[in-house]
């Protein structure tokens, strides 16, 4: 072998070594920290909680227009891996959003991917709750490559199905409440005291059954996502008049080819019967029902919900 060949062989070896070392550097452990990421329309807040060898878990909160506070019990779960909390634009600790042209599923998917790239997440678990499952399914359909597993908590994959379930639950309420709901929906008086009282009763049975703990957040500068909720969804949980009113991904569920957990509460507005139906459309999926809980499973039965999440994450460890 002449010197030229030896030189080229060594050069090739060191080039491969450099690429390998660079790859290792890119995959360094994700350490706990918080910060902001620039996205179209403003900055989104995020926090990485925990560290360890297990796959990162990227959270997608509900709404649209809520914040990640509902996931706070997961901070105490003892997971040996990073959990990424973040507030979507216009929500919680992220900057405000008033431009309705940015209140789209596509834009929220873009935000999610921007954060993933910023953190360098690979082989991560996507964990969405409620509206976060709508965002989650669309994110997965566009970017399936890095998703290792999915948790769909109290999912919504069809607005028509959701409204039909809501009608089923409304039918269990007193006749006078049902009449108020139908009357004020027909007149569009969604701010009428009787309609608001009806929504409170519905929420107490099917959204949050246990009183939420009081937490002082007066020191935080928070964005209100109520306009996002009304624009994209509507005036209440049981009627959709916004841009999501025709949302349907039922035909896309069969495209999910990673381990998937579907979980909901026993009294959830995302009804157990519907969750079972969704699961029948997803090849590698399982269903868990949280007893004594409605839609806010981590609030209503924290220990049972965290046990289910822990056990699922154990099955998808590296």
Active site residues: 130, 268, 295
The candidate with the shortest Cα–Cα distance to 71, out of 153, 137, 134, is 153
The set of long-range contacts for 273-282, using a CB threshold of 8 Å and a minimum separation of 24, is 274/161, 274/165, 275/155, 277/161, 278/152, 278/155, 278/157, 278/253, 281/250, 281/253, 281/254, 282/253, 282/254, 282/256
Beta-ladder partners of 223: 92
Spatial CB neighbours of 97, under 8 Å, sequence gap ≥ 6 = 41, 42, 89, 90, 91, 103, 223, 225, 228
Three-state DSSP class for 127?
strand
Q: How far, in Å, CA of 7 to CA of 199, rounded? A: 76
Q: How far, in Å, CA of 129 to CA of 63, rounded? A: 9
Q: How far, in Å, CA of 275 to CA of 285, rounded? A: 11
Tell me which residue has tokens 């009282």.
197
64 preceded by a cis bond (ω within 30 of 0)? yes
Q: How far, in Å, CA of 123 to CA of 256, rounded? A: 15
Q: How far, in Å, CA of 156 to CA of 223, rounded? A: 24
Residues 100 and 291: beta-carbon distance below 8 Å: no
């Amino acid at each position: 072998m002449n010197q030229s060949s030896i030189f080229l062989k060594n050069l090739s070896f060191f080039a491969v070594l450099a690429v390998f070392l660079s790859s290792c550097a890119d995959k360094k452990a994700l350490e706990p920290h918080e910060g902001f990421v620039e996205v179209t329309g403003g900055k989104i807040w995020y926090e990485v909680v925990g560290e360890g060898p297990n796959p990162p878990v990227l959270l997608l909160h509900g709404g649209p227009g809520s914040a990640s506070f509902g996931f706070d019990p997961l901070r105490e779960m003892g997971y040996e891996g990073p959990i990424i909390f973040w507030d979507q634009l216009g929500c919680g600790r992220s900057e405000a959003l008033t431009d309705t042209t940015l209140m789209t599923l596509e834009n929220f998917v873009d935000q999610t991917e921007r954060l993933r790239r910023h953190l360098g997440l690979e082989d991560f678990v996507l964990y969405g709750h409620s509206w976060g499952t709508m965002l989650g399914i669309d994110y997965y359909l566009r970017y399936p490559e890095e998703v290792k597993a999915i948790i769909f908590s109290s999912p919504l994959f069809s607005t028509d199905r959701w409204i039909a379930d809501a009608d089923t639950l409304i039918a269990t309420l007193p006749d006078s409440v049902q009449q108020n709901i139908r009357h004020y929906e027909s007149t569009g008086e969604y701010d009428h005291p009787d309609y608001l009282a009806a929504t409170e009763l519905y929420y107490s049975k099917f959204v949050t059954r246990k009183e939420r703990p009081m937490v002082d957040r007066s020191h935080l500068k928070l964005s209100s996502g109520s306009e996002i909720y009304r624009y994209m969804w509507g005036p209440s949980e049981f009627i959709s008049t916004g841009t999501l009113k025709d949302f349907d991904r039922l035909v896309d569920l069969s495209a999910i080819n990673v381990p998937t957990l579907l979980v909901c509460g026993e009294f959830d507005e995302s009804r157990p019967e519907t969750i079972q139906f969704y699961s029948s459309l997803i090849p590698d999926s399982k269903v868990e029902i949280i007893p004594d809980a409605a839609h806010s499973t981590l609030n209503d039965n924290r220990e049972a919900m965290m046990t289910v999440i822990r056990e699922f994450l154990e099955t998808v460890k590296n």
